[in-house]
Amino acid sequence: MATPRLPERMAPKVLPPPAVIDRMPPPHDLDAEAAVLSAVILDPSQLDNVPALQPAHFYSGSHQRVWETILYLRALAQKIDVVQIGTRLKNQGRIDEVGGMSYLTELLNAAPAVANAHAYGDTIITLSRLRDLAHVAQRVSARCYVDRADPAEVMAEAERAISDVVRTGIGPARLGADVLFEAPLPDEPAWVIQSLLIAPGRVTLAAGSPDSGKTLSWQSIAVSVASGAKAWEAFDVQRRGLVVHLNWDQPLEDTKRRYRRLLAGRDLTVDAVRGYLEVIDDPPFALDTDVGIAELRAICRGATMVIIDALTGALGEIDEKDPIIGRWLRKMGKISEQTGCAIVVIHHAVKPPPQKGRGAVERDAMHDIRGSSAIPGASGAQFSQAPIKKGELYSVRMGRPPTSAKRALEPFALRFLDVTSQEASENLFGEHVPARAGGVRVAYVSPDELAEFSKKDPKKGGYDGQAAFEQFARIVLEKVKSEPDMNTTDVHQRFGKGTGRPRVESALKWLAKQGLVVSSKGARNADFWRAV
């Protein structure tokens, strides 16, 4: 059966385009592409025979659009036929890119035998890999002829690129029982910040409303991972390394200003993060395309953490309410797992529900996330941030923890402090200090202290954090008096599980400044405390 002749408006689009060599176009087979599309439209069950075939494998840009639509319809468990494909493309304004409804109808005659879909798919993938190899060869040639780069560097780049091509299109790995159970699973993932449950694997989702301080909070985390300094003044960084901030959301000047304020607030210089912190402003790709996913994979290879700011900006044409968004988040999680790079996705939260009166509800952090339920379903650790005292104090709740963690974190808070000097910045729970030097600090507030913050001071009409902290410090002092020469761990163990160690440490340091306790160094440089 003859295959349809491609109309001129369907001129093939090649991404990326290898050069024509000796007047020969890059390897392709438009007949095989039309045949596999026809086979799947006539019999959608044939999709199971071409599980590795992706839009990027097609030479024709028009065929790429049709295959994307077929995969979209399958993901939503909708019927796959010419009408459904045409309706989806019309809604996207892309029907003319594929030659109109007339060409979709002609495709039905393109498959000599529906049962040969697997063979057509193999042909398409093979030719796609040959085009990719040709492109790699051209890049290597350009590096040699034009750049005259270091041979070792060129060889390393070529090996990585060729390895990527070899892995493309081989289909999902089929793991039998012997492989699944032959070796024990690792006890611990490659934590970046273990206390905050941040590790490679499923993406970490950081949600909040526009005034919730979420972006500044996670830029502070970026500075900590890049410099090795404690995260939010309290949590150790297990793996210092390169952090790449993909910025689709905020103006570049705002991003620069916030990073400068965060460094100033922690008395860090640019040398602390030089070579470890990068911003890619308004990236020229979308993460709901195969090209965007390939770019993200390349970025993650050399990074410890990637921050995607924000999800709605990173996606090209998918609405946040579309359940297919989960597919792309899972792809990001797979990249994170394979590269060992933690991925944090900043997203929006729904408006907070009434807390009192009619319509009041108690909503968990997982249901704060705006958009399709596929978003939290495809992510790992989930943080939901909301203002308690705008500009100063923000609550943070965790939804479902990552599978590698035994339990979620208890609700805590973050305190934002404008600082003028080192002396002022050390008073983490003191009064608000007007910004002069322009520095800002993001500090952790433990669960039990958050509970104390929630008690209003009728004289001030607000939250008296300093009074709550000093009250707790007096309790710590009594513990020290009861048994002299305890180290910090011993003091912390005198409290229940709801009291965080960072809070105990802060109280001991404050008591020392007041001259109420003194410390001496013991084994392994541990501090031992005694009341004065």
Q: What is the overall mean pLDDT for the chain?
A: 79
R_g of the chain computed on alpha carbons: 28
pLDDT at 359: 44
Rounded Cα distance between 63 and 66, Å, is 5
pLDDT at 339: 87
Residue limits of CATH 1.10.860.10 in the chain: 8-167
* Contacts of 121 by beta carbon, 8 Å cutoff, 6+ apart: 36, 49, 50, 52, 53
Model confidence band, residue 403 (pLDDT cutoffs 50, 70, 90)? confident
Residue 434 has pLDDT above 80, yes or no: no
Rounded Cα distance between 276 and 391, Å, is 28
Model confidence band, residue 303 (pLDDT cutoffs 50, 70, 90)? very high
Residue 513 has pLDDT above 80, yes or no: yes
- Give CA separation, 394 vs 411, 412, 413, 414, 442, in Å: 11, 9, 5, 5, 10
pLDDT at 314: 93
Higher pLDDT, 423 or 413: 413
Residue 353 has pLDDT above 80, yes or no: no
Least confident of 127-131, 152-156, 172-176, 213-217: 172-176
Q: Which helix (H) or strand (E) holds 73?
A: helix 61-75
Rounded Cα distance between 254 and 276, Å, is 20
DSSP-derived secondary structure letter, 48: G
CATH hierarchy code of domain 8-167: 1.10.860.10
463-531: CATH topology: Arc Repressor Mutant, subunit A (1.10.10)
pLDDT at 265: 85
Distance of CA 323 to the CA centre of its chain: 18
pLDDT digits (tens, 9 = 90+) for 196-240: 999 999 999 999 887 888 999 999 999 999 999 999 988 999 999
Q: Which of 241-250, 371-380, 385-394 has the highest mean pLDDT?
A: 241-250
Range 323-335 average pLDDT: 91
Residue limits of CATH 3.40.50.300 in the chain: 194-353+363-416
Amino acid at 479: K
Residue 4 has pLDDT above 50, yes or no: no
Residue limits of CATH 1.10.10.10 in the chain: 463-531
Rounded Cα distance between 402 and 198, Å, is 8
Instruction: State the DSSP string of 23-37.
Output: TBPPS--HHHHHHHH
Model confidence band, residue 140 (pLDDT cutoffs 50, 70, 90)? confident
Model confidence band, residue 99 (pLDDT cutoffs 50, 70, 90)? confident
pLDDT at 168: 46
Range 169-192 average pLDDT: 64
Range 41-64 average pLDDT: 86
Q: Which of 72, 322, 325 is nearest to 203 (CA)?
A: 325
Least confident of 66-75, 137-146, 355-364: 355-364
Q: Which helix (H) or strand (E) holds 348?
A: strand 342-348
Backbone CA torsion sign across 164, 165, 169, 175:
negative
Rounded Cα distance between 441 and 266, Å, is 7
Max CA pair span of the chain: 97
Higher pLDDT, 524 or 485: 485
pLDDT at 5: 41
Alpha helix stretches (DSSP H) within 201-289: 214-227, 252-265
Amino acid at 249: D
Residue 464 has pLDDT above 60, yes or no: no
pTM of the complete model: 0.56
Model confidence band, residue 311 (pLDDT cutoffs 50, 70, 90)? very high
pLDDT digits (tens, 9 = 90+) for 235-261: 999 999 999 999 999 899 999 989 998
Residue 351 has pLDDT above 70, yes or no: no
HSE-up of 331 (CA within 13 Å, CB side)?
A: 16
Q: 224 with 239: CB under 8 angstroms?
A: no
Q: In the sheet that 527-531 helps form, which strands lie side by side, from edge to edge?
A: 486-487, 527-531, 517-521
pLDDT at 318: 86
194-353+363-416: CATH topology: Rossmann fold (3.40.50)
Model confidence band, residue 21 (pLDDT cutoffs 50, 70, 90)? low
pLDDT digits (tens, 9 = 90+) for 265-283: 888 889 999 999 999 999 9
Q: 50 with 286: CB under 8 angstroms?
A: no
Rounded Cα distance between 167 and 462, Å, is 59
Q: Give the number of other Cβ atoms within 10 Å of residue 126's Cβ.
A: 15
Alpha helix stretches (DSSP H) within 93-213: 100-107, 117-142, 151-167, 177-181
pLDDT at 163: 67
